[in-house]
Chains A and B, each alone.
Chain A
Amino acid sequence: MKKFIGFVKKEYYHIIRDPRTLFVLIAMPIAQILLFGYVITNEIKNASIGILDHSKDEITKQISSKILSSGYFKLDASINSEQEIHEAFRKGKIKEVIVFEPHFAEKLKKEGTAKIQIIADASDPNMANLLTNYTEAIIRNYSIAITTQNTQISLITPEVRMLYNPELKGAYMFVPGIIAMLLMLISALMTSISITREKELGTMEVLLASPLNPFTVITGKVTPYLLLSFINACLILLTGYFVFNVPVNGSIILLLAECLLFIFMALSLGILISTATKTQQAAMLISLVVLMLPTILLSGFIFPVENMPLPLQYLCKIMPPKYFINIVRTIMLKGGNLATLWSDTLILFGMSIFFLMVSMRKYKIRLE
């Protein structure tokens, strides 16, 4: 036990004697979450659009002002002819053009129908989709409003409720993802680097020649980083709560406990990486490529697992972050408890034990 404490003390010195790394470790989560929160957003705000109104009557003006006053769009340029549309798109000034056909109000009155063309810049397909959906919704609302005014025909109107994230806020989606990503990065990267650094500097040789057993070395290495990563998890949750109003609907204790479990898993992975690499650079590369990419791409963080081709879906099943992100989302947004999450938790726990066992086995008691 004394040996263990002595080892942790030594690791603690390493961490605080390197204030630059420490600063990066603490500042990175906050910087990341702010970046994701403000830059990568799926919401539309003040998208520039153009309107080509061939009719310029009462109704087209009403629809235009409805669209522009929604807050999602802002009028960038009044377009006067079809030719100008392409010009404007090519310049990249606008994302969408709404075209009203001539004699719009007249036709609507006489024939009961009139046409609006929505042209979107699909070089960014997601954006184009969102914009047209928003526009259509506004127009649909307007048309429902005027038909119910004039005639008494009842229409079927679906009423949509978005559960758990009624405003469809991006922050709700990415806060759990960022927690997974950062905990993975810090835990795995830092432990694997700190062990390979001992190999590089030759201090591993003295450690091996001493009576320290692998268990003490590994747990001694892991403990300070477990603490550091846990602080990070709390920082991310606090920033999410205070800056982006992401709630924690479920038990905070359970959430923190699950975070600890995930950190433990990532640390074991980090040790496993360090047993297989000799240099800090190799450890860093493996941590980044082997851990970061799957955490972002194959975990359901950004892209839903259900939409992936079947082989990739199977691959996702062995990615620990997938389970963790699901756990965090369920606890934070749906207020889920252990009764609903026991299987995911058990899988994470099993993975941690597996990685730890393998790295203990692979930990070399001699020089290579």
Chain B
Amino acid sequence: MNFVEINNISKSYGTHKALLETSFSVKKGELFGVIGPDGAGKTTLFRILTTLLLADSGSANMAGFDILKDYKKIRQIVGYMPGKFSLYQDLTIEENLAFFATIFGTTIKENYELIKDIYIQIEPFKDRPAGKLSGGMKQKLALSCALIHKPEILILDEPTTGVDAVSRTEFWDLLRRFKEMGITIIVSTPYMDEASLCDRVALMQEGKIMQIDTPANIVKNYKPELLAIKSNNMHDLLVKLREYNLNSQVYLFGQTIHFSSNQTINQSDLNNYLKNNGHTNVEISTSIPTIEDCFLWLMKQHN
């Protein structure tokens, strides 16, 4: 059964179309990721789901409640963490948490069990104003505040943006733990590497969802062969590869250049082509695509 259902939601701001007929569904207890760069429409989508914005067209329901008619019910059962840090900077950790517990009609004590794992990490600083916390601690506090009323659905808008690598890993560990407690989680992120931590992901670009699947399937469905290529002159290599096959996707990926094309590429032909163009130490190998490769490939196909 689908716990969250989104049907053809569209939203535009003036002439700018932020969301185009977006549809997807999330199962109960699923950790669902919405992956896309800035401006893809993730925040708009989340604000519509949290009943903060009205969609121009389309419908959605969460836990059986319609986002338009039953907005009050939805606000009871959803825990929302906006992309921008939205707690009271002049209130301490404890005061913030207590405030959010109160406005949801509960107390810290009542749901302490749920947030214990995160809260013990920030509890030593509970008398410190939220504005004076580090990025990672702010995120943990915001997550605690979003969870304090034991929501059925947790909606997190780019929770790991601007957070250091260690805190990011910790944060995802926590999310997995809440998922195991049965909370349905919808999370957005601009970081492609975080996609593999979700059960299923939607790849989003310019208000459109390009693909929805499990991270493993998305990688499996990557049609072209992906080649990782190295040589002595990386910059020229990029130019020459683009010239070699116009219908290809070429970009720098770490130490190598990722090259893939709609056509089948003969590796030795390519090797000769590069050598004829003055490249030495050419290394060509097939590589397993990452979500980022898939994303960029899909983007190219959509354009």
Question: Beta-carbon contacts of B55-97 to A below 8 Å, as 1s and 0s?
Answer: 0000000000000000110011010101011111111000100
Question: Beta-carbon contacts of A191-216 to B below 8 Å, as 1s and 0s?
Answer: 00000000001110111111110000
In the complex, A202→B87 CA distance in Å? 8
Known: A2-B105, A3-B105, A367-B47. A205 touches B72 (CB 8 A): no
**Does A262 make an interface contact (CB < 8 A)?**
no
Known: A13-B91, A201-B89, A202-B82. A366 touches B52 (CB 8 A): yes
Residues of A within 8 A of B54 (CB): 366
Shortest CB distance B106–A (Å): 10
**Does A110 make an interface contact (CB < 8 A)?**
no
**Does B103 make an interface contact (CB < 8 A)?**
yes
A367-B52 in contact (CB<8A): yes
Known: A2-B102, A3-B102, A210-B75. A10 touches B95 (CB 8 A): yes
When A and B form their complex, what is the total count of cross-chain residue pairs whose Cβ atoms lie within 8 Å? 77
**Does B99 make an interface contact (CB < 8 A)?**
yes
Most buried by B among A13, A205, A211, A367: A211
B86-A205 in contact (CB<8A): yes
Shortest CB distance A149–B (Å): 77
Residues of B within 8 A of A2 (CB): 102, 105
Contact of A202 among B50, B86, B103 (CB under 8 A): B86
Residues of B within 8 A of A207 (CB): 103
**Does A18 make an interface contact (CB < 8 A)?**
yes
Residue of B nearest to A14 (CB): B90
**Does B20 make an interface contact (CB < 8 A)?**
no
Question: Beta-carbon contacts of A11-49 to B below 8 Å, as 1s and 0s?
Answer: 001100110000000000000000000000000000000
Size of A's binding interface in residues, CB under 8 A = 25
Residue of A nearest to B78 (CB): A209
**Does B51 make an interface contact (CB < 8 A)?**
yes
B87-A10 in contact (CB<8A): no
**Does B288 make an interface contact (CB < 8 A)?**
no
**Does B252 make an interface contact (CB < 8 A)?**
no
Size of B's binding interface in residues, CB under 8 A = 31
**Does A7 make an interface contact (CB < 8 A)?**
yes
Shortest CB distance B127–A (Å): 13
Residues of B within 8 A of A3 (CB): 102-103, 105
A203-B86 in contact (CB<8A): yes
**Does B299 make an interface contact (CB < 8 A)?**
no
Contact of B51 among A10, A13, A18, A366 (CB under 8 A): A366
B90-A210 in contact (CB<8A): no
Residue of A nearest to B80 (CB): A209
A366-B78 in contact (CB<8A): no
Residues of A within 8 A of B145 (CB): 206
A366-B53 in contact (CB<8A): yes
Residues of B within 8 A of A6 (CB): 98-99, 102-103
Residues of A within 8 A of B91 (CB): 10, 13-14, 17
In the complex, A13→B98 CA distance in Å? 13
Most buried by B among A13, A207, A208, A209: A209
Residue of B nearest to A203 (CB): B86
**Does B104 make an interface contact (CB < 8 A)?**
yes
A211-B80 in contact (CB<8A): no
In the complex, A64→B145 CA distance in Å? 81
Residues of B within 8 A of A206 (CB): 80, 82, 86-87, 100, 145
Residues of A within 8 A of B47 (CB): 205, 367
A14-B82 in contact (CB<8A): no
Most buried by A among B52, B72, B91, B103: B103
A-contacting residues, B101-133, CB 8 Å: 102-105, 129
Residue of A nearest to B91 (CB): A13
Contact of A211 among B82, B88, B105, B129 (CB under 8 A): B105
A211-B103 in contact (CB<8A): yes
A211-B76 in contact (CB<8A): yes
A202-B51 in contact (CB<8A): no
B99-A201 in contact (CB<8A): no
Shortest CB distance A363–B (Å): 14
Known: A2-B102, A6-B102, A202-B82. A209 touches B75 (CB 8 A): yes
A208-B52 in contact (CB<8A): yes
Known: A208-B52, A211-B75, A366-B51. A17 touches B90 (CB 8 A): yes
Residues of B within 8 A of A18 (CB): 90
Shortest CB distance B142–A (Å): 9
Residues of B within 8 A of A367 (CB): 47, 52-53
A-B contact pairs, 11 of them (CB 8 A): A3-B105, A7-B99, A9-B99, A10-B99, A13-B90, A14-B88, A17-B90, A203-B88, A206-B86, A366-B52, A367-B52
> Chain B residues in contact with chain A, CB under 8 A?
47, 50-54, 71-72, 75-76, 78, 80, 82, 84-91, 95, 98-100, 102-105, 129, 145
Contacts beyond the supplied A205-B86, A206-B82, A367-B52: 7 A-B pairs with Cβ under 8 Å = A10-B99, A13-B95, A202-B85, A205-B52, A209-B51, A211-B72, A212-B103
Query: What are the 8 A-B residue pairs with the smallest beta carbon separation, nearest first?
Result: A6-B102, A202-B86, A17-B90, A209-B80, A202-B84, A367-B52, A211-B75, A206-B86
